[in-house]
């Protein structure tokens, strides 16, 4: 029982409050890798179903842009509190 509470405290104090450089070094590449894997799976699936070049020049590009935009918004959501703290620190220094 004591170990479970210690682990929860560890997660709250270290992982959830990761520094900004950790977010840029690990979270951003992980998000981009997830985008790459999702687009590769989508591409393989559409090739399996026999969709031609028209799909890759139209719908596939639109889906890729949407996935990349959502990932970018998610990453901005992750770093926004840290950026606000950083700017407030330098403004009041």
Q: Locate the domains of the chain by residue range.
A: 18-91
Report residue 86 CA to chain centroid gap. 21
CA 74/CA 90 separation, integer angstroms: 25
Q: What is the pLDDT of residue 16?
A: 54
Report how far apart, in Å, the C-alpha atoms of 85 and of each of 8, 19, 59, 76 are.
25, 11, 40, 14
What residue ranges of the chain have pLDDT lower than 50?
11, 15
User: Per residue in 69-89, pLDDT tens?
Assistant: 999 998 888 888 888 888 888
pTM over 0.85: no
Angle (nearest 5°) at CA 51 between 50 and 52:
110
């Amino acid at each position: 029982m004591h170990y479970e509470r210690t682990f929860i405290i560890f997660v709250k104090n270290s992982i959830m409050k990761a520094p900004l450089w950790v977010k840029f070094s690990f979270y951003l590449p992980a998000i981009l890798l997830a985008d790459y894997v999702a687009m590769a799976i989508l591409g393989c699936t559409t090739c399996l179903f026999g969709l031609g070049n028209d799909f890759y020049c139209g719908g596939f590009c639109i889906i890729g842009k949407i996935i990349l935009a959502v990932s970018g918004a998610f990453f901005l959501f992750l770093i926004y509190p840290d950026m606000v703290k950083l700017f407030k620190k330098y403004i009041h220094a």
